[in-house]
Amino acid sequence: MQDLDKIRAEALAAVAAAADLDALEAARVAALGKKGSISALMATLGRMDAEARKTAGAELNRLKDEVAEAIASAKAALEAKALDQRLARERIDVTLPVRPETTGRVHPIAQVMEEMTAIFAQMGFEVAEGPDIEDDFHNFTALNIPAEHPARQMHDTFYFGERPDGSRHLLRTHTSPVQIRTMLNTAPPIRIIAPGRTYRCDSDMTHTPMFHQIEGLVIDRTTHMGHLKGCLMEFVTTFFEVDEVPVRFRPSFFPFTEPSAEVDIGCSREGGELKIGPGKGWLEIGGSGMVHPNVLRACGIDPDEYQGFAFGMGVERMAMLKYGIPDLRTFFESDLRWLKHYGFLPLDVPTLSGGLTR
């Protein structure tokens, strides 16, 4: 058997000389690996007689334990050193001020939805939500939209693949399915608003494939058209923060309301500047009407006992009118310069007592 003192000295010297973990691993393999110097000696024990094997085995085990202990100690020291170096290299001075450009902004769509919600909440409305992926019943049938209606066609609606039963799910084309789900699961009286994303196959300066709506629904025994008009007139005056906003209701047609009306607000375009308020012009902001009896029946509500009104508005359109944003497409371009200009500080939470915009 080779000189154990020499092997011990060489192995311990290699461990002590290791400057990093890779070098230490190389020293370990050279001594204790399958082809290492100590492992090679351990393999010769089988060729010795019993007495010699007992003596040599004890000495080799002591050497193996001594080298392994030295390696473990060196590894712990090198890992601690590496951690200290990393901490020093990645050190952050938390006393430095935050860079101004990292201040976030609330997107105008989110801000306007909060403003609208705050106003309707003061009127006693609750916020209701529903899934973006809908079925035909909730999105069309229950809303009294006939099978041949153009809104059901592929050029208007995003459909998913056909299911085994022949039906197809779709991306909701309005937030009205939330009204249906609420009426199916809640007994009147009902007073909700339903803000959220909607989807339609359309894209130009005034339309995008994905946009936002907020709809309102009131169902009880005594609600009439006058309540609808009063609710929306109060809303537009508060939302646009103008003392007087003329509102008119133009007769229209929607499958889910009867009678139905488009809602317009007064404006002035004098000097090429659009101002909400008294003037010679009008701007359409949404649709409204009394809930159609067929819709109430589809939701298990007796139209002879209950009636109600519904309305809907585009959030992007309301944001454009209030904050002078000229192009709908810029809402979705992810331009930080645009967001810095039109965005809102995170702490500017809209309330009626503190003000919608500050």
Query: Using one digit for the tens of pLDDT, what is the confidence trace for 14-25?
Result: 888 888 888 888
Top-ranked range on mean pLDDT: pick from 26-30, 31-35, 88-92, 247-251: 247-251
| pLDDT class of 2 with cuts at 50, 70, 90 | low
Q: Is the pLDDT of residue 165 over 70?
A: yes
Q: Is residue 277 part of a domain?
A: yes
Phi, psi of 212 (to 5 degrees): -125, 140
Residue 351 lies inside a defined structural domain of this protein: no
Q: What is the mean pLDDT of residues 81-99?
A: 79
Judge if 241 and 314 occupy the same domain: yes
**154 pLDDT higher than 60:** no
Answer yes or no: is 100 within a domain: no
Please say if the pLDDT value at position 123 is more than 80. Answer: yes
Average pLDDT, integer, range 198-207: 74
Query: Do 318 and 192 fall into the same domain?
Result: yes
Instruction: Provide the token pair at 98.
Output: 């935050």
Q: Is 70 exceeded by the pLDDT of residue 259?
A: yes
Q: Are residues 170 and 317 in the same domain?
A: yes
Answer yes or no: do 33 and 139 share one domain.
no
Instruction: Give the mean pLDDT of 304-328.
Output: 91
pLDDT value at residue 102: 63
* Domain co-membership, 117 together with 182: yes
Please check whether residue 357 lies inside any domain of the structure: no
Tell whether 63 and 116 lie within a shared domain. no
Boundary (domain end) residue, out of 63, 89, 115: 89
Q: Average of pLDDT values for 52-79?
A: 81
**CATH number assigned to the domain comprising residue 267:** 3.30.930.10
pLDDT higher than threshold 60 for residue 358:
no
| pLDDT of the residue at 349 | 79
Provide the number of structural domains found in the chain.
2
pLDDT grade for 29, boundaries at 50, 70 and 90:
confident
Mean pLDDT of 228-254: 92
Does any domain span residue 110? Answer: yes
Q: Above 70 in pLDDT, residue 353?
A: no
Looking at the fold, whether 144 and 290 belong to one and the same domain comes out as yes
Q: Is the pLDDT of residue 105 over 80?
A: yes
Reported residue count of the chain is 358
Within a domain: 352? no
- Given a cut of 60, is residue 117 above it in pLDDT? yes
Q: Does some domain include residue 96?
A: no
29 and 153, same structural domain?
no
Residues 78 and 145 in one domain: no
What is the domain extent for residue 261? Answer: 105-342
At residue 98, the pLDDT reads 66
Stated pTM of the model:
0.67
> Are 18 and 117 within one domain?
no
Range of lowest pLDDT (44-48, 161-165, 177-181, 202-206):
202-206
63 and 125 part of one domain: no
Burial class (CB in 10 A: 0-12, 13-18, 19+), 45: middle
Write down the pLDDT at residue 347.
79
Which is more confident, 219 or 97?
219
Q: Does residue 220 fall inside a structural domain?
A: yes
Per-residue pLDDT at 206 exceeds 90? no
Residues 160 and 79 in one domain: no
| Cβ atoms 108, 325 nearer than 8 A | yes
Helix axes 50-89, 4-17, angle to 10 degrees: 10
